Structure formats: C-alpha cells, structure tokens
Structure 1
Amino acid sequence: MTPDAVVSLEAVSKTYATGAAEVHALRGVTLRIDRGEYVAVIGPSGSGKSTLMNILGCLDVATSGRYKLNGVDVEDLSETELAAVRNTHIGFVFQQFNLLPTLSAWRNVELPLVYAGVGRAERRERAQQALGRVGLAERVDHRPSELSGGQQQRVAIARALVTDPALILADEPTGNLDSRSSEDVMALLDELHASGRTIVLITHDLEVAAAAGRSVTVRDGELVGAAAPLVGFRA
C-alpha cells in the first residue's frame, strides 16, 4: 500500500456463526480509499454495508483478508491497540449523535482527547477550536438538550475532528435530521472534504451519496459498483 492510501482492504470476508448455520456478511471485498477522497458506501438493509463500516471503523475484525488503516495492519493489533486506533485515527459520526446529555458541547468534544491522555488546558483549547470549525463557537457551553438536532450533529462532527484523524467515518449522518439540518450537515462534510479530509459516508440514500466524489455499492456482501451508484437502486 502506498502512503496515499488511508484505507486498503484486500479480499476481506466476514462470517458469523448463528447456531449450526453460517452467515457470510462480506465476501472477498477489496477496496482502496486514498487520502483526501470522499467515498459513499451504499446498499440496502442486510447488504453487508454495516459490517463493512464496522470493519473500517475497527469495531469488528475480518474473518479473512487484510485491512490496513493509514498504513497500519489492524490484524496485528491487540484489543488495547485497536481501541487506541479507533480513538486517534478515526473520527466517528453516527446517526444518533451519541452525545452525553449532562456534558456541555466542549466537554463532549474533548472526550477522545481525555482517552488519549491530553492535558486539560489543551483539551479545552482544541475542543473549542473544533466547535468553531463547525460553526458553534458561541455554543461551546450549551448542553445537547439546548441545541437543535443539526447543532447536535455538528457537535458530533467536531468531536470526530478533534483528534485530527486520518479518516472520518459517517454512518447515516442525516438519518435523524430534517431536510434543512441535513443540508447543513452535508454542506459541512463538503467543506471538510474540500480542506483535505478523507471521508467515508455510509448511507442508503442516493441523494446523500451523490455528495461524494465516488461511491461503492454493497450487495449480498460483495462490492458490485465502485464508481457510481447503481441505476435503479432502492433501499
């Protein structure tokens, strides 16, 4: 893998045992995502895209094949090392925001830095900078309940940015938002991509996927489209 490849999957398969049966969630997936790319992964429910997301995010490991993230072969890592990779190399943006309701916006954003052992003063400075980057400089002390859905997702994006990760992994980031907030969040992802961020967007929505520079389609555990969404695809 060259230094420009952030994601490199080589013949990755994932099999789950369910009683006496086996479920082949992924079948020999090979995929490369270079630094600065914006890639959408699309597919219907049960296609394997969630399993692919979990492997990309180091939330699960492949049954076979190789996965290198930013040059690191994750197969060789211990659970502790995998946790460190998740915390520093990947910025997660989830559909549900996953903000702690008792903490202010900046306290939510600083959490990855807490786990990384960064000092308190630096944590606050970096968290506030990240919130400023997503347009929430005036909301750093607000709790999630005091923010709109779109603003909460912006806090989640700031949290994803605060460690300066190699990869931003966004899983249905507009799934819980109204159309205006969805447009705002997608515009922010566009800005981040324009600034050089590598983004992988997991979605079933073709309109959302269209924002990416490239898309791959997952069906029955296999990649069946690596350049653009399949015509006629429906979630």
Structure 2
Amino acid sequence: MTAVDETPIAGVVELHGIRKVYRSGSIEFEALRGIDMSIGGGEYVAVIGPSGSGKSTLMNILGCLDVPTEGQYLLGGEDVSTMSEAQLAVVRNKRIGFVFQQFNLLASLPAWRNVELPLVYAGTSKAERRARAVAALERVGLGDRVENRPGELSGGQQQRVAVARALVTEPDIILADEPTGNLDSESTEAVLGLLDELHLSGRTIVLITHEHEVAARAGRNLTIKDGLITADALVGAQ
C-alpha cells in the first residue's frame, strides 16, 4: 500500500491544561494534572503508561466518555469540553470510532448487524446501513463472514469486526483502548497490521496501551505517568 503524505494536519485533537479530579466525600484524587497535547490529522499515536498512570482517564476524555474538571479539549477545532451530554453523544457516534479490549459485540447479531449499530443510532436508512457495514467488513478482510455471529469467529476476527464498526461512520479519529489485550500473538499481529494499514491510508489513530511492543507500531509515543505526559517521542516503526 502506498503511504500518504506523513505531514500531520494540525488540530484534530488538542488538549490544553486538562485536569481531572475525582471526589468522594472529602477525598480528592487528581487523575490528570495538566495535560497539554496535540495530534494532527493522519498521525498514529500511542499513549503508553502503567496501571494507575492516568491513561484510562485520558482515554475517557479523548473519547468524550467523561469531561475534564478543568481545561479545554478541541476535536477538529471544536470545543467539546463544555458540551452537554446530548451533544457529546452525537460526537461519540459520528466523530470517534472506538475499539475496545473486550470487543463489545452483541452475541445474537451477525457481524454486519454489529457493524451497522452506530449508523442505526445516527438514523441512517436500512439499505445504506447494510451497504456501509458490508463495505467496512470487506475493508478489514471479513467480506466472507458478514453473516457470522461473534461466537462463530475467532478473537482476532471479532476484534476486526470491532474495527469495522469503528470505521463505518468515517470518524475523525479511531480510539483503540488496549485492542490486543485479549488476543494471542497471531491475532495481535493481524490486528496491529490492520491498524498499520489504516494509518497508511490516512486515518488518525490513538492507541492506548501498557505494552511497549504494541506502542512501537505507532509513529509517535506519548508516555503518561502520575497524570502527566512525561515524554513525547517519534518512533521509527512507520
């Protein structure tokens, strides 16, 4: 596959002074302590850190699953840090593609029906939903498995269904949270290879991981520790 221009387009993700404080009675815990970061269009960035570093909290904010206590989050130049829950739901549905460790597929539905779900919530017509879902499955190499239910697929295939679901709305970014955490080495390589291909086609990808080998596949690594970005380095994987 031919690589696109690697020069990132500024402004897909911009965080300014992001703090997140959790409170329980008189007890406060500061999970993020002032995060500043920028991710340009077409970048493949891995956020790496140990358990308790703040990377899950950062993922939740990047995915508009949570809101910061302080600071500004711009997604595609639009401030999402002050949006209502209804507005955030629209952003999550249309502008962010999620890939989770647990796949989060509905066991009773065939692959294409799982992939079309974001389009159902968006009010897309039935015919268009199926066409786009099948096209997304073909893109991840599962064009012959559109009618298979999750229980009829391997772990790696289920995660590829999840990637297809993330792609089907043509989102601003793909947010992958420990996407290989439940996979064997062969399936891990297949999923990471798919993310490589998506990056080379111009997709913006943010990968959350605690594994340095997985993070090394990205073009840039952000290290988080104790709620702060402690390192920002380019890597030579791409």
Scaled by the length of structure 1, what TM-score is found?
Answer: 0.95
Matched position secondary structure for 1:93: strand
Matched, 1:72 2:78: yes
Picking from 156, 159, 165, the partner of 2:165 is 159
Indicate if the aligned counterparts of 2:9 and 2:42 stay in contact, CA closer than 8 A: no
What is the CA-CA distance between 1:38 and the residue it aligns to?
0.2
The CA deviation string for residues 83-102 of structure 1, in whole angstroms up to 9 with x for no partner, is 00000100000000000000
What is the CA-CA distance between 1:45 and the residue it aligns to?
0.4
The residue type equivalent to 2:139 in the other structure is R
Percent of residue pairs identical: 67
The residue type equivalent to 2:134 in the other structure is Q
Matched, 1:42 2:57: no
The aligned counterpart of 1:222 is 228
Matched, 1:201 2:207: yes
Picking from 169, 189, 193, the partner of 2:175 is 169
Scaled by the length of structure 2, what TM-score is found?
Answer: 0.94
The residue type equivalent to 1:14 in the other structure is K
RMSD: 1.2
Matched position secondary structure for 2:144: helix
CA distance in 1, matches of 2:232, 2:123: 39
Indicate if the aligned counterparts of 2:96 and 2:173 stay in contact, CA closer than 8 A: yes
Indicate if the aligned counterparts of 1:95 and 1:176 stay in contact, CA closer than 8 A: yes
Matched, 1:97 2:110: no
The aligned counterpart of 1:186 is 192
CA distance in 2, matches of 1:181, 1:75: 36
Give the number of aligned pairs: 228
CA distance in 2, matches of 1:75, 1:135: 36
The aligned counterpart of 1:232 is none
The residue type equivalent to 1:55 in the other structure is I
- Mark the runs of 5 or more structure 1 residues left unpaired by the alignment: 230-235
In the TM superposition, 1:45-60 aligns within 5 A as 45-60=51-66
What is the CA-CA distance between 1:20 and the residue it aligns to?
1.3
Q: 1:181 to 1:3 in 2, by over 3 A?
A: closer
Q: Which runs of 4+ in 1 moved over 2 A?
A: none
The aligned counterpart of 2:37 is 31
Matched position secondary structure for 1:137: coil
Picking from 149, 162, 165, the partner of 2:155 is 149
The aligned counterpart of 2:114 is 108
Matched, 1:86 2:86: no
The aligned counterpart of 1:122 is 128
CA distance in 1, matches of 2:41, 2:231: 20
